[in-house]
Amino acid sequence: MPRAILCVLDSFGVGGAADAAAFGDAGSDTLGHIAERCAAGAGDRDGLRQGPLNVPNMDRLGLGAAGRLSTGKDIPGLSFSGDPEGLWGYAEEVSKGKDTPSGHWEIAGVPVLFDWGYFPDTVPSFPGELVEGICEKGGVDGILGNKHASGTVIIAELGEEHIRTGKPIVYTSADSVIQIAAHEQHFGLDRLYGLCEATRELADPYNIGRVIARPFVGETADTFERTANRRDYSVLPPEPTLLDRLTNEGRTVYGIGKISDIFAHQGVSKVLKGAGNDRLFDKTLEAMDAAQDGDLVFTNFVDFDMLFGHRRDVPGYAAALEAFDRRLPEMISAMKDGDILVLTADHGCDPTWRGTDHTREHVPVLATGPGFRGKCIGARKTYADIGESVAHHLGIALGSHGTSFL
C-alpha cells in the first residue's frame, strides 16, 4: 500500500485568481513578482542571495510550467527546457476566504463555503463586550493594541508597555483572527495559552476562524523576538476532512508544524513541531522514516508566509524558496516505491503587494514519486482536487467536493 507526503509551502501563490479583484488583489503573483524582482537585481541581499531565482528542482517538476499556465507569462529564471518530470498544474480556491484554515481545509477536501467573521479596520477593532471578556478571563485590567496590525510591528510598539503593565497585546488583521501576544516569562506561556483557549470560546459568536497565541521574548523593542511556541486555536472544519477519513480507516496522519492546530487537533495522529523551515524539513524526513503503508505525512512550511510574505521581504522569500529547493532531493530520495509527494500552497502572500495581508491567488500543484511520468494536470477548479488525489492514491473513498487528477 502506498504512502503520501503533502507539503504546503505556506503562501506560495503562482498568479492572481479569477476573483482576485473582489479581494483587492487583481494582478498579484507571488512567484512571478519574486522572480521578476530577482531577475532585475531587486532580490539581491549581501550574505543572503544574489541573481535570478534559482529553484531547479521544483522547476524540473513543473513549477515554471505551472506559473506560465496560471499567468500566461514566462517566469524569469525558471527555464527548464525539457518536459516537466512531475505532474504539474495549478488549483483555484472556491472557499470564501484567503486565509490559512480555508486553504488547508479545502486542500483536505472541505471548502469553506460560508462567510467568516471579521473585525473592522478601526481603532478600536473589537467590540467592548469581547474586550471585557478577555480581561475577565485573563485577570487583567485592560488590553493593548485593539487594532489591525503586523505582529512584529505591534510587539515592537507595545512590548515594553506590556511588560510594564501586564496587559496582553490583542490585535487582528484582514483575516478572521484574534491574535494575542505576550511575553513568555513576564506574562507566562501557560497563562497565554489559557487566555487564548478562553478567548476561543468568546470568539465563537463572532464566527472567528482562529485565535493565535503569539509568545515572544526579549526586554526592549530592539530585542523582542517571537518564539516557536506559537499555538493556533481553530474552529472545527464543518465536515470530515481527508485527515478524518484516513484516521477512521486506521491510518496514521503525521501533522508537521501547525497542521494539527489548523485542523483543531482533529484527524491528526502524531504531531511533530519545529522552529523554521529547515527544522520542519527535518521533521518531515523523520515522519517519512516512521510512516507505514497507507499513512499521510502533512507539513506546513510556515516561514514563507510568516517571515517573508507578510513582511514584504522579496530577498528573504527568494532565499527561502532556494533553500527549500536545495533540500528537495533529500525528500525525493527518502520516498519508497508507491509513494506520492505533492507540493502546493494554501493562498498567496505576494511580497511586492501593498499592505501586509494574504493575496488571492492560484496555487501550484506539483506531484512526483517513483515511477511517475510527467504530465500536465491543468487548471484544477478547487484545491479539494489535491486532497481527493491523495485519497485516491491511498485507496480510501473520495469526498464530495473534488476529483482526483491521478
Residues belonging to the binding site are 10, 305, 310, 346-347, 358
Residue (of 235, 309, 284, 215) closest to 7 by Cα position: 284
Residues that constitute the known binding site for Mn(2+)? 10, 305, 310, 346-347, 358
Distance of CA 326 to the CA centre of its chain: 20
Residue 361, beta-bridge partner list: 16
Residue where the block lists cell 523554521? 276
Distances (CA, A) of 347 to 98, 101, 183, 192, 231: 6, 10, 30, 28, 20
Distance CA 388, CA 108 (A): 8
Going by the DSSP 8-state scheme, the letter that residue 139 receives in this structure is: T
**Helix/strand/coil (H, E, C) string of 145-180?**
EEEECCHHHHHHHHHHHHHHHCCCEEEECCCCEEEE
Distance of CA 196 to the CA centre of its chain: 20
Spatial contact of 386 and 406, defined as CB atoms under 8 Å apart: no
